Chain A
Amino acid sequence: MTQDYSDVLVVGAGVVGCAIAREVSRYALRVCVLDQAGDVAEGTTKANSAIIHAGYDAAPGSAKARFNVLGNALFEDWCRELDVPFIRNTSLVAAFDDSDLATLHALKTRGEGNGVPGLQVLTQDEVRALEPNISRAVIGALFAPSGGICCPYGLTFRLAEHAAANGVVFHFERRVVDVTRARDGLWQVTTADGGVFRTRAVVNAAGVYADELNNRVSTQKFSITARRGEYLMIDKQYAGTFRATIFQVPTPLGKGVLVAPTVDDTLIVGPTAEDIGDKSDTRTTADGLRKVVESATRVWEQLPMSGVIATFSGLRAHGDRDDFVVGEAPDAPLFFNAAAMESPGLTAAPAVAVWLAERIGEKLGAQRSSSMTPCPAFPKPFREMTDAERVAAITADPSYGRIVCRCENVTEAEIRAAVRSRIGARTLDGVKRRTRAGMGRCQGGFCTPRIITILCEELGLTPEQVTKFGGDSRILVTCGTRHAETDSDAACQMSSVERQEVSHD
């Protein structure tokens, strides 16, 4: 069906794939990105803790340790360049007993070995001075000044925009089903819809599915388990309760349940850690949510259940090698893995991308482009503007004065811009993650109809075609009322009385 040629083909449009695509776009190479979903950031990237880790957890000498510390150091510059929020809010690992305290000292030593700056073990008083709302059960903590928070999908949208501005082509709803080496030496990537993409180099950033891709081309097999984590999101009414990210002393399954502020002033609480057979199973469970609450209340005794605005779960790609798999597969030249990128995968993404792009550029004998188009400027969110900026924005475009999402103060101008951008929103969730419209305390209760209308206007859709996140996730059914009149939908069985009632409004 499709025949498409590129120098570098990235499988996966999560934060890792988009970061690599952006970095590779610095070279004179034809780059494309394939993803099975209808948008970027639809897998692990959209549902994780959003923490930029300091780097004391990873085993010394591991890829995790190396890329974590390097990636952490890159985050400030990356986020500044892309104009996305990043806050070095610091982190604490809370200890509850003497054995935990001993673990803190071990973590500190390990962290120092990994090159993590400024680690200190704090006493209870010192912890309380930093975090007055922390439980008194916390008797000490490891303090890491380089810990931070970001918006993983916000970062990914901007990476994709920047990559696209530099010629990277994105193909959505393209699930890769096969990768083979053609007779002419090129890789041939086949998608579920029958597409064939020919490329010199493949980058495997397929998240929880990366093992399947690697194992098709390499005898150096690995396996990835989807490790599910459930979360609660707490309303920004509680902003400021904690400044730092507060971990608990880690367990063998991961870093445990954390409590952290987000860059959007909400608080995130979670995750659980549960290995799941089905790599697409992002359900939440009564048990999981209960565990999150039980564990989080060790740190945040007054965790306000009435302040919960959303629950969700995400899957991390846990590899059986217990480390990232980054680099060219030894027996499959020009097949590059960025796989098993569980925590601290987000933190490491910039460093992995820079490192891999250099390897790929070198292997393909490509020159760095003399000029890189800067990341296109995005309209500043209304909620972050000063009064003077607001006045100027509304003067230039009155739709900046029309608030669509009242909880997050998102304007019509921002929503239209999010749809019109290179990698634009096509769905309600796409708008939500790009603008925060529908992400606040009412969860779209008021703004959904308005956003449906804007999506229809911008994309030429009927309301019944608008989806939450693509596929069959339609918001409405075609047995419409007004629309049925023009569509003469036979399925619609509305009485004439009801029609009058509708037109009455």
Chain B
Amino acid sequence: MTEIDVLIIGGGPAGLAAAIAAHEAGCRKVLLLEREPALGGILRQCIHAGFGMHVFKEDLTGPEYAHRFVQRFHALGLSAQCNTMVLSVTPDREVTTVSPTFGLQRFRAKAVVLAMGCRERTRGALRVPGWRPAGIYPAGLAQRFMNLDGWMPGRRVVILGSGDIGLIMARRMTLEGAQVLACVELMPFSSGLTRNVVQCLDDYDIPLLLSHTVIDIHGRERLEAVTIAQVDDQRRPLPGTERRLACDTLLLSVGLIPENELSRAAGVGISAITCGPLVDESLQTSVPGIFACGNVLHVHDLVDHVTVESEEAGRQAARYAQEGQQARGSDIRVRDGAGVRGLVPQTVCAARVTDGVPLMFRPSAVFKDAAAVVRIDGEEVLRKRSRIMTPGEMVRLVVPKDTLERYVGAAELTVEVES
């Protein structure tokens, strides 16, 4: 059994930022575990630009963004163990791992940071009917084939779902000589960032078919075609709108699911909305000493926000490792109001905050000329106006420390979209 101060599970952007922050907060026994052979997480395969605009005020590719953290990580003398899979985490923070080099290992950590990221929703989860040929891939898998393995998944492509990875892959496959016929989105709006719709679809004349879906899959061995159809406002296919598109590849970009199997087994409470752990303002889960950040907590749009969030998780984990559990005052419950989904954190202890508390959520629909309004026990404390809010772009509001300090003992904080 190896004793660790802060043990971080996952070496992507979240884990790297948390590890660096924990070290900078004074923890010297910080260990990061990564199941892949190299650090960087999903950024390794995100070779497009658009990363780092907030954190570095620069336009970086994914590998470049990751590299800055990997460099810093090594410069600080931090240690990571790659090729290492965590098999279990117990509520008292005993962590069992396996790797080809070190075999079975056990660690006991004063604090654990969960930074395992997310996985892609599959065809099975959508229950798209039809044949089950080769040629149907989650967009991120196709991205990995192309960018890490140097393999080409297909030549005539339809993309189901307008998540950011699907949009990025529409452009990527076009650049590699594939023909991308359409991006088909069930909802009446894109679930990806507007800039990706513009730069990855519009710039390449790839149609975005809103309120459409794939209703049948053809081809016994390799995909031969899909049937798409328009849907009504109940998302039911409209008879007579069916169209058959001949293609050899269907990419799915239909949502990401935080990977919380380890968290659940450790007894961590999971939100039914975010599918990530329920956390307080320090990003601590329902299990004392276990923290969560990045896409395992809730799926982000921007890695920059992951970095900021994870630095906080790393600092808080370090503090827990150094000082143990803090005495808590009463918690303010955070509740999704009208037009708001998946607020994180789910509780805030006003008496304990050391800084402003970021609240993050997704609008439940597209709102124009709207305002996000924060109320504590019914009193408005913050209002942020936006020309447009969409489910594809996460909203982040910071409630200042001095505001929260005025509400020690309050019961409920709500955020609502008013339009």
Question: Which residues of chain B from 130 to 163 have any CB-CB distance to chain A below 8 Å in the complex?
Answer: 130-135, 138, 140-141, 144-155
Asked whether any CB of chain A lies closer than 8 Å to the CB of B215, the reply is yes
Q: B119-139, CB under 8 A of A: which get 1 and which 0?
A: 110111101011111110010
> What residues of chain B lie closer than 8 Å to A402, measured between beta carbons?
83, 99-100
Asked whether any CB of chain B lies closer than 8 Å to the CB of A277, the reply is no
> What residues of chain A lie closer than 8 Å to B151, measured between beta carbons?
449, 452, 463-464, 476, 480-481, 483
Given A390-B104, A406-B85, are A482 and B150 neighbors across the interface (CB < 8 Å)? yes
Closest to A411 in B: B98
A280 and B145 form a contact (CB under 8 A): no
Asked whether any CB of chain B lies closer than 8 Å to the CB of A443, the reply is yes
> What residues of chain B lie closer than 8 Å to A482, measured between beta carbons?
149-150
- Shortest Cβ distance from A278 into chain B, in angstroms? 11
Asked whether any CB of chain B lies closer than 8 Å to the CB of A276, the reply is no
Asked whether any CB of chain A lies closer than 8 Å to the CB of B316, the reply is no
A-B contact count (CB 8 A): 171
A477 and B177 form a contact (CB under 8 A): no
Asked whether any CB of chain B lies closer than 8 Å to the CB of A375, the reply is no
A401 and B98 form a contact (CB under 8 A): yes
Given A284-B130, A504-B63, are A476 and B100 neighbors across the interface (CB < 8 Å)? no
Count of chain A residues near B, Cβ 8 A: 71
Asked whether any CB of chain A lies closer than 8 Å to the CB of B55, the reply is no
A463 and B149 form a contact (CB under 8 A): yes
> What residues of chain A lie closer than 8 Å to B145, measured between beta carbons?
449, 476
Which of B100, B141, B177, B220 contacts A401 (CB under 8 A)? B100
A445 and B138 form a contact (CB under 8 A): yes
Complex CA gap A310/B99 in Å reads 29
B130 and A283 form a contact (CB under 8 A): yes
Asked whether any CB of chain B lies closer than 8 Å to the CB of A169, the reply is no
Given A232-B127, A283-B130, A480-B151, are A394 and B103 neighbors across the interface (CB < 8 Å)? yes
| Max count, chain A CB within 10 A of own CB: residue among B45, B63, B85 | B85
Complex CA gap A409/B35 in Å reads 12
Asked whether any CB of chain B lies closer than 8 Å to the CB of A227, the reply is no
- Shortest Cβ distance from A442 into chain B, in angstroms? 5
> What residues of chain A lie closer than 8 Å to B123, measured between beta carbons?
443
B149 and A449 form a contact (CB under 8 A): yes
Q: A262-290, CB under 8 A of B: which get 1 and which 0?
A: 00000000000000000010111110110
Given A398-B101, A401-B98, are A445 and B127 neighbors across the interface (CB < 8 Å)? no
Complex CA gap A484/B177 in Å reads 13
> What residues of chain B lie closer than 8 Å to A306, measured between beta carbons?
125
> What residues of chain B lie closer than 8 Å to A309, measured between beta carbons?
122, 124-125
> What residues of chain B lie closer than 8 Å to A453, measured between beta carbons?
149
Asked whether any CB of chain A lies closer than 8 Å to the CB of B331, the reply is no
Q: B169-197, CB under 8 A of A: which get 1 and which 0?
A: 00000011100000000000000000000
A285 and B129 form a contact (CB under 8 A): yes
Which of A232, A403, A481 contacts B150 (CB under 8 A)? A481
B99 and A289 form a contact (CB under 8 A): no
Given A283-B130, A309-B124, A309-B125, are A442 and B63 neighbors across the interface (CB < 8 Å)? no
A445 and B140 form a contact (CB under 8 A): yes
Asked whether any CB of chain A lies closer than 8 Å to the CB of B243, the reply is no
Q: B84-127, CB under 8 A of A: which get 1 and which 0?
A: 01010000000010111111100000000000000110111101
Complex CA gap A226/B175 in Å reads 45
Complex CA gap A458/B99 in Å reads 22
- Shortest Cβ distance from A87 into chain B, in angstroms? 22
B221 and A471 form a contact (CB under 8 A): yes
Complex CA gap A498/B147 in Å reads 10
> What residues of chain A lie closer than 8 Å to B305, measured between beta carbons?
none
Asked whether any CB of chain B lies closer than 8 Å to the CB of A472, the reply is yes
- Shortest Cβ distance from A276 into chain B, in angstroms? 13
Which of A390, A452, A474, A492 contacts B98 (CB under 8 A)? A390
Asked whether any CB of chain A lies closer than 8 Å to the CB of B248, the reply is yes
Asked whether any CB of chain B lies closer than 8 Å to the CB of A475, the reply is yes
A448 and B47 form a contact (CB under 8 A): no
Asked whether any CB of chain A lies closer than 8 Å to the CB of B300, the reply is no
B35 and A308 form a contact (CB under 8 A): no
B99 and A472 form a contact (CB under 8 A): no
Question: Which residues of chain A from 222 to 249 have any CB-CB distance to chain B below 8 Å in the complex?
Answer: 232-233, 237
> What residues of chain B lie closer than 8 Å to A308, measured between beta carbons?
124-125, 127
Asked whether any CB of chain B lies closer than 8 Å to the CB of A124, the reply is no
Which of B119, B130, B131, B144 contacts A442 (CB under 8 A)? B119
B134 and A467 form a contact (CB under 8 A): yes
> What residues of chain A lie closer than 8 Å to B63, measured between beta carbons?
504-505
Asked whether any CB of chain A lies closer than 8 Å to the CB of B396, the reply is no
Given A443-B122, A463-B151, are A493 and B101 neighbors across the interface (CB < 8 Å)? no
Complex CA gap A445/B63 in Å reads 21
Asked whether any CB of chain B lies closer than 8 Å to the CB of A98, the reply is no
Question: Which residues of chain B from 186 to 225 have any CB-CB distance to chain A below 8 Å in the complex?
Answer: 215, 220-222
> What residues of chain B lie closer than 8 Å to A387, measured between beta carbons?
96, 104
> What residues of chain B lie closer than 8 Å to A461, measured between beta carbons?
none
Asked whether any CB of chain A lies closer than 8 Å to the CB of B23, the reply is no
B133 and A445 form a contact (CB under 8 A): no
A477 and B120 form a contact (CB under 8 A): no
Closest to A236 in B: B261
Closest to B275 in A: A306
Asked whether any CB of chain B lies closer than 8 Å to the CB of A501, the reply is yes
Given A445-B122, A476-B153, are A286 and B129 neighbors across the interface (CB < 8 Å)? yes
B221 and A472 form a contact (CB under 8 A): yes
| Max count, chain A CB within 10 A of own CB: residue among B96, B98, B140 | B98
Given A288-B129, A479-B155, are A473 and B100 neighbors across the interface (CB < 8 Å)? no
Given A398-B101, A445-B140, are A477 and B83 neighbors across the interface (CB < 8 Å)? no
Closest to A290 in B: B127
Q: A436-472, CB under 8 A of B: which get 1 and which 0?
A: 0000011111101100110000000001100111011
Closest to A232 in B: B127
> What residues of chain A lie closer than 8 Å to B135, measured between beta carbons?
475
> What residues of chain A lie closer than 8 Å to B221, measured between beta carbons?
467-469, 471-473
B222 and A473 form a contact (CB under 8 A): yes
Complex CA gap A302/B152 in Å reads 41
Asked whether any CB of chain A lies closer than 8 Å to the CB of B235, the reply is no
Asked whether any CB of chain A lies closer than 8 Å to the CB of B315, the reply is no
Closest to A388 in B: B104
Which of A237, A391, A398, A464 contacts B261 (CB under 8 A)? A237
Asked whether any CB of chain B lies closer than 8 Å to the CB of A502, the reply is yes
Closest to A483 in B: B150
- Shortest Cβ distance from B415 into chain A, in angstroms? 24
B176 and A448 form a contact (CB under 8 A): no
CB pairs A–B below 8 angstroms (19 shown): A282-B131, A284-B127, A285-B129, A308-B124, A309-B125, A387-B96, A390-B103, A390-B104, A394-B104, A402-B83, A402-B99, A442-B120, A452-B149, A453-B149, A467-B134, A472-B221, A479-B176, A480-B152, A481-B146
Residues of B whose CB lies within 8 Å of any CB of A are: 35, 44-45, 47, 61, 63, 83, 85, 87, 96, 98-104, 119-120, 122-125, 127, 129-135, 138, 140-141, 144-155, 175-177, 215, 220-222, 248, 261, 264
Query: Which 4 interchain pairs have the tightest Cβ spacing?
Result: A482-B150, A310-B124, A468-B134, A401-B100
Additional 14 contacts, C-beta under 8 A, given A476-B152, A479-B155: A289-B127, A309-B122, A401-B103, A402-B100, A442-B122, A445-B140, A448-B141, A463-B151, A471-B221, A473-B221, A475-B153, A477-B152, A481-B152, A498-B175
